[in-house]
Amino acid sequence: MTSKSSVLHQTFKSTTSTRAPSSSYASGSSSASSSSASPSFFPLASSQSSRVVHPPTSYWYTSRPSLSATLASLERTLNQSRTHLFKCGLLRSIATPLSSSEFASSLPHPRERRWKDAKEMGVYLRNGTDLRTSEYRRLTGVLAHLEGLLPYAKLADELPPPSTTSPQGINRSVLPPSLVVNPVAANQALASRSQQKDASSDSAEDPSEHQDVDHYRGSATTLSEQLDVLLSRFIAPAVVSATGTTLERVSGAARRLGRMDHHGRVNAVGRRKESTARVWIIPASSASTEASDQAPTPGRILVNSTSLPEYFSVASHRSTVVRPLTLTSSLGVFNVFAIAEGGGIAAQAEAVAMAMARALAEWERCKIEQGELQEGEVTWREILKKANLIDRDPRMVERKKTGQAKARKKFAWVKR
C-alpha cells in the first residue's frame, strides 16, 4: 500500500510541474493579447461624429406641419382667452360651451366673418396642397369659436380695473393675455430659426428666437383687439367686380335671401339635387285692400304656368311645396309663381319649397325695414330655418360604382 501511494504522489508532482509552464504561458499570452487589443478597443483619438440635424419644429413629422402648428397656436390662443374670461367672471368654467353660458342670450355669436375657402387657406398656410374637408372644418371651427368670444372680450375690456392685490397695485392674474396674432408667420420664423441654428456650430440658445415670437404678438393690448387682428388674417379677400368696385360679402343673418322689386314682388332661388326653382311672391289683392263685403280671394300657386294640383299630382309633393306657407300661417295670403327645371318631380317640389321659404323670409324682412310690420319675438326666417327650409340640402345622388350593380348594390357572388 505504501509503495502504491508513493507512486501516485510522484505522478501528481510530475503532472503539476509539467502543467505549470503551460499555465504561465497562457497567462502571458492572454495579457499580451489584452494589451494588444486595448488600443483598438479604446482608441486614443476618436473621429468626430457628424452633427445631428434636428427637425425645425415638433410638427415636422405630421402630414401637414404648417396646419398642425397653426392649429396648435390657435387652440393655445383659445385656451388663454377662455381662461382670461373665466377669471373675469364671464364664463362658468374654462370648458363651458358658449351656448350654455349665462350671457348667451345677451351676447350672441356674431357670425359676421366669412373665412377663406379650402384652397385659399392652403395657400395662406403654405401647405403645399389643398386642405381636406375634415381639416378645413376643424380649422374654421376653432376660428368660429374665437369669433364667438369677441362679445365677451369687449365686455371684459370695459370692466373696471380689478382690486389691488399686489404690492404694485395691479392684479396681474386678470390682465389680458398677450396673444400671437400672426401664428402662420411666427411658425415659419421658428422653423427658419431652427434650421439656421442646426447649420451653425454654436449650440448656445439664441435670445432672438424669443424676440421673433414676441414680434408676432402685435401692439394691441386689449383682448378684443388682439382677437380681431388674429381673425382678420383668415377672412376671405374682398370680391372686386369687373368695373373695379369692391363688393361686400355678407354672411350670417345679414345675408339677403331674395330681392324685392318696385312692384312689391319678392323673388328667390332654391335648389335640390339637379333641380333649380325661382319663385316670385306677392300678397293677394284681397290681402292688401280693406275688408269688403265679398269673400276674400285666396292666393294661387302656379308652377311653370300650371296649377299646383295639375303639376304635382302626388299629394306628398304638394304638401312639400305648401309647407313654408303652412309654417308661417300664410296659406292663401300670397300669389306664388314658380319656374322649376331640371331633375325629377320630387326634387323640383323641394326646390320650389326652398325658394318659397327664402322669399317669405325676405318679404317679412323688407316689410319690417319699411315700417309696415312690427318685428315679433320669432321671425319667419327663424321658423323656416329651424325647419331646414332656408339652407340647401347638400345630399346628391351617389354615382354608380364600376363592377357593382348600383351605387351600393353588389352582384350576387357565385362560387363556381
Q: What is the mean pLDDT of residues 104-117?
A: 87
Report the mean per-residue pLDDT for the chain.
80
Measured CA to CA, the distance from residue 85 to residue 251 in angstroms comes to: 27
Span 119-130, pLDDT tens digits: 999 999 987 778
Look at 10-24, 71-85, 231-245, 327-341 and tell me which has the smallest mean pLDDT. 10-24
Query: Does residue 338 belong to any structural domain of this protein?
Result: yes
Please count the structural domains in the chain.
2
One domain, residues 96 and 192: yes
Distance, CA of 84 to CA of 199 (rounded, Å): 40
Rg of the Cα atoms in the chain: 39
305 and 340, same domain (yes or no)? yes
CATH number where 287 lies: 3.30.230.10
Least confident of 132-136, 191-195, 401-405: 191-195
Contact call for residues 313 and 303 (beta carbons, < 8 A) = no
DSSP codes of every residue in 56-112: SSTTTTSS-HHHHHHHHHHHHHHHHHHHHHHHTTSSSSTT--GGGSTTTTTS-----
User: Burial, 49: exposed, middle or buried (Cβ in 10 Å; 0-12, 13-18, 19+)?
Assistant: exposed
Per residue in 290-318, pLDDT (tens digit) is 445 566 678 899 999 999 999 999 999 99
Asked if the structure places residue 192 within a domain, the reply is yes
Q: Are residues 124 and 184 in the same domain?
A: yes
Tell me the whole-structure pTM to 2 decimals: 0.56
pLDDT higher than 80, residue 166: no
Angle between helices 133-148 and 223-232 in degrees, nearest 10: 150
Cα atoms in the 13 Å half-sphere on the side-chain side of 147: 19
Answer whether residue 162 is part of any domain.
yes
* 126 and 269 part of one domain: no
User: pLDDT band for position 239 (50/70/90)?
Assistant: confident
Distance CA 318, CA 356 (A): 13
- Pull the grid cell for residue 401: 360604382
Task: Give which of 365, 316, 358 is closest to 336, Cα–Cα.
Answer: 358
Cβ atoms of 189 and 212 closer than 8 Å:
yes
The whole domain housing 72 covers 65-232
Residue 271 per-residue DSSP state? E
Q: Of 108, 112, 69, nearest to 232 (Cα)?
A: 112
